[in-house]
Amino acid sequence: MSILLPPDVSADEAEILRTTSGRPFVRTPDECFDGLPDFPWAPNYAEVDGMRMHYVEAGDPDGEVVLLLHGQPDWSYLYRRMIPVLAEAGLRVIAPDHIGFGKSDKPVQMADYRFLHHVAWIEAFMDVLGLDAITPVVQDWGSLIGLRCVGNNPDRFARVVVANGQLPVVPEGFAPFPQPETHDPQDLSFPFVTGGDGGEGGMSVFGEWIAYAMVGRDFVPSVVMEASIRRDITAEEIAAYDAPYPSRVFMAGTRMFPSLVNTLGDVPTNEAARAALDAFPRPVLGMFGLQDPIFGDQATRDATRVQIAGAAGQPHKDYPDAGHFIQEDVGPELAADIAAWIAATPQS
């Protein structure tokens, strides 16, 4: 079986492993994660579709489950400022790395990354750990994936926290953005800038974001994170976002994720899941950074706060100075707000 890698990536850069079904993947060496600042948690792994999915677990093992779902191009490191606050509140905190990210295994074929694959992998992860009565905290692609899981099986969830995210409905087979015509590296720039209500650019430059992530010559997670995080952050923290990717063969997932928007119309589409999400009767909290150029606009906030039944009357909150990576900008405050809300909304 040949490995259909992008032409700028060599399979000789790392040992190629295979699942029993034949999917090729790589595994980031443990030493790549040595000495990461403020990330003391021992790794845990669940087997999902023949691959290892890494997760952090902290807090009371008998506490209510809070599932922290990251987006792109980051990994569970994004939640390091929130995990201790939630754990100290007596919650069972679980922060997985999506397949292709962080300490999880990483398929090397770009075609292996599709929206419904990631939904299935997170649902399998919850099955392996036997999670129920879950409160997911979802952001960026973690929101599209996590909210689809809620729509697929709403009875599995006790509450929902949407922090910079939503679940759009895309018509079957519709691909809203063009793909780069070639995978050859190009000199492109990170397209998003922040500022104002929802920032500037937003979805109008999302096609440029797809191209930059997929073929941008200088694309690595640290470039994106440094340009997007609004608080003061150390160089060591920024560098930690690159730790999972010692060479380009490890980066198929983080390069492909923006273009997954073109797979939202895969069958079955999000329409039925969105309808079930909108009918979700249990508490839903919408927490948004107003400087987010993708999810900070009023219409996106209303897609949670107005459209979902369980959001009525909840103490939603906007963070005026927080951007897209709300966990970095206001993580401890956001975690404290979530913990207080969970305590005030006991399960029926």
Catalytic sites, residue numbers = 140, 292, 324
3-state helix, strand, coil in the chain (%, to 5): 40, 15, 45
Shortest CA distance to 308 belongs to which of 344, 269, 268, 275? Answer: 275
CA–CA gap between residue 122 and residue 97 (Å, rounded): 10
DSSP string, 235-258: HHHHHHTTTT-SSGGGGHHHHHGG
- Cβ contact 65:92 at 8 Å: yes
Find, among 133, 134, 50, 62, the residue nearest to 95 by Cα.
134
Q: What is the side-by-side strand order in the sheet with 106-107?
A: 17-18, 24-26, 106-107
Omega before residue 73 within 30° of 0, cis: yes
